[in-house]
Structure 1
Amino acid sequence: MNKSIPPQNIKQNKQQAPIAAVIQLNTQDDVAENIKRIAYWVKRAKEQGAALAVLPENCIYMPKVQGQAKLIAEALGAGHVQSELAGIAKENKLWLIVGAFPTWDAAAGSVKDSTKGSPKDSHKAFQTSLVYNESGKLVAHYHKRHLFDVTLPSGGSDSSQHNSHNNHSSQPKAESYRESDAFLRGQYNQYVDTPIGRIGLTICYDLRFPEQYRALTEQGCALFSIPAAFTHATGAAHWEVLMRARAIENQCYVLASAQTGTHPSGRQTWGHSMIINPWGEVLAVLADGEGVICATIDLPALTRLRAQFPVLTHRQ
Structure 2
Amino acid sequence: MASTRRVAVIQWHIKDVEAEQNHATACNYIRQSAAEGAELAVLPEYHLSGMVPNDPRWAIQAADSAKFASYPERSLRSRRDRMEPPIFYNTAYFISNDGSILGSYIKKNIWHPERPHLTSSGLDRHVAIDTPIGRVGMLICWDLAFPEAFRELIADGADIVIIPTYWTPHDASADCIKYNPNTEGLFLETTLTARAFENTCGIIFCNAAGPSEDFLGLSQITLPLVGPVAKMGSEEGICVADMDLKVLEVAEKNYKVRQDIKKDDWHYVYRHSSK
State if a TM-score over 0.5 links the two structures. Answer: yes
Alignment of 1:246-257 (within 5 A): 246-257=195-206
Q: Are 2:43 and 1:55 equivalent residues in the alignment?
A: yes
Deviations 1:142-168 (A, max 9, x none): 00001111xxxxxxxxxxxxxxxxxxx
Note the C-alpha offset of 1:131. 1.2
Note the C-alpha offset of 1:20. 1.1
What is the aligned-residue identity percentage? 24
SS of equivalent to 2:41: strand
Question: What corresponds to 1:115 in structure 2?
Answer: 82
SS of equivalent to 1:271: coil
Within the candidate set 3, 10, 20, 1:32 is matched to: 20
> Retained in 1: the 8 A contact 2:102–2:130?
no
Deviations 1:137-195 (A, max 9, x none): 1121100001111xxxxxxxxxxxxxxxxxxxxxxxxxxx2x12221111321321222
Note the C-alpha offset of 1:198. 1.2
Amino acid at match of 1:195: P
Within the candidate set 20, 25, 30, 2:7 is matched to: 20
Question: What corresponds to 1:287 in structure 2?
Answer: 233
Q: Are 2:168 and 1:231 equivalent residues in the alignment?
A: yes
Structure 1 residue ranges, 4+ long, deviating more than 6 angstroms after superposition: none
Q: Equivalents in 2 of 1:53, 1:63: separation in Å?
A: 21
> Retained in 2: the 8 A contact 1:19–1:297?
yes
Question: What corresponds to 1:143 in structure 2?
Answer: 106
Q: Are 2:209 and 1:222 equivalent residues in the alignment?
A: no
SS of equivalent to 1:181: coil
Q: 1:141 to 1:65 in 2, by over 3 A?
A: closer
Q: Are 2:217 and 1:260 equivalent residues in the alignment?
A: no
Within the candidate set 191, 195, 199, 1:242 is matched to: 191
Alignment of 1:89-238 (within 5 A): 89=71, 96=72, 98=73, 100-104=74-78, 111-112=79-80, 114-116=81-83, 118=84, 123-149=86-112, 177=113, 179-187=114-122, 188=124, 189-233=126-170, 234=172, 235-238=184-187
Q: Equivalents in 2 of 1:304, 1:147: separation in Å?
A: 34
Between 1 and 2, higher relative CO (CA 8 Å, sep ≥ 6) is seen in 1
Amino acid at match of 1:49: G
Count of matched residue pairs: 246
> Retained in 2: the 8 A contact 1:28–1:63?
no
Q: 1:247 to 1:72 in 2, by over 3 A?
A: same
**Structure 1 segments unaligned to the other structure (5+ residues):** 1-11, 90-95, 105-110, 150-176
- Structure 1 length-normalised TM: 0.72
**Structure 2 segments unaligned to the other structure (5+ residues):** 173-183, 262-266, 268-275
Deviations 1:208-258 (A, max 9, x none): 011110111111111111111111254323111111111111010110000
Q: Are 2:247 and 1:305 equivalent residues in the alignment?
A: no
| Backbone CA RMSD of aligned residues | 2.3
Deviations 1:30-80 (A, max 9, x none): 2111111101110111011111111010100126664654331247xx732
